[in-house]
Amino acid sequence: ALTGAFTPPPPTHKAAGGAGMARTFNFKQGTKLVIKQGDITTEDVDAIVNAANERMLGGGGVDGAIHRAAGPELVRACAQHPEVEPGVRCPTGEARITPGFRLPAKFVVHTVGPIYENDRESAPLLAAAYRSSIKVAQESGVGSISFPGISTGVFGYPWDKAAQVSLEAVDAALSEAGEANSVREVRFVLFGQKLYDIFVAEAEAFTAKE
């Protein structure tokens, strides 16, 4: 017989967390800003940004994930970018573009963020990585672009500071381009919930400031 009190189902936390969460904002010059949690390799956008290293021949973290998903053509395309000094295809703060090969994204923008030292030295380099990425994307007519949290992994940038510098740098780059800007949507695709929450909080503060 069915006796006893009704037992409610265990609570689920779907609404409060998990992949698939996203928030939408706007930069002041009109470009849409999406902060989302997820895997950047599955992004269906014109370009995804790779947090690469100066050699540009693959590595760990998001770099490894992008190379695995794009297939072996990607490392060959990277190798075709000339070395500007021995072992350096893309100096810290600069960006290079390649096709996306087997990725849903048409292009990969490879940029190199700084290994975090201190704000005075590292913030300008992190900002430069974002600005260079937007610039090379605009030169290829990219309309939508997804960024990971550059330098927030093994490069050790403090997450709250990285979120602030990243959003300000993208905003500045979009404004500078004026009428020539092709980028209508910028996404930050963060792997973990904590970094996602930090970027959302910063976007709220940042867009409220404008």
> Judged by CB under 6 A, does residue 202 bind ligand ADP?
no
> Judged by CB under 6 A, does residue 152 bind ligand ADP?
yes
DSSP 118-178: -HHHHHHHHHHHHHHHHHHHHHTT-SEEEE--TTSSTT---HHHHHHHHHHHHHHHHHHHG
Among 189, 198, 200, 203, binds ligand ADP (CB under 6 A): 189
Question: Given the rule CB under 6 A, which of 3-11, 82-90, 165-173, 191-199 is the region that contacts ligand ADP?
Answer: 191-199
Which listed residue (46, 63, 160, 197) is catalytic?
A: 63
Q: Is 63 a catalytic residue?
A: yes
Q: What Cα–Cα distance (Å) separates residue 91 from each residue in 56, 96, 133, 147, 150?
A: 10, 10, 13, 18, 15
- Which residues are within 8 A (CB) of 2 and not within 5 positions of it... i.e. 6 or more apart? none
92 vs 138 by CB, closer to ligand ADP:
92
> Judged by CB under 6 A, does residue 164 bind ligand ADP?
no
Please say whether the beta carbons of 134 and 177 come within 8 A. Answer: yes
Structure tokens belonging to residue 130: 């974002």
User: How far is residue 182's CA from residue 139's CA, in Å, rounded to a whole number?
Assistant: 9
Q: How far is the CB of 179 from ligand ADP (least distance, A)?
A: 32
> Judged by CB under 6 A, does residue 95 bind ligand ADP?
no
The residues in 33-52 that bind ligand ADP, with binding defined as CB under 6 A, are 39-41, 51
Question: Given the rule CB under 6 A, which of 8-16, 26-34, 137-145, 186-194 is the region that contacts ligand ADP?
Answer: 186-194
- The residues that are catalytic are 63
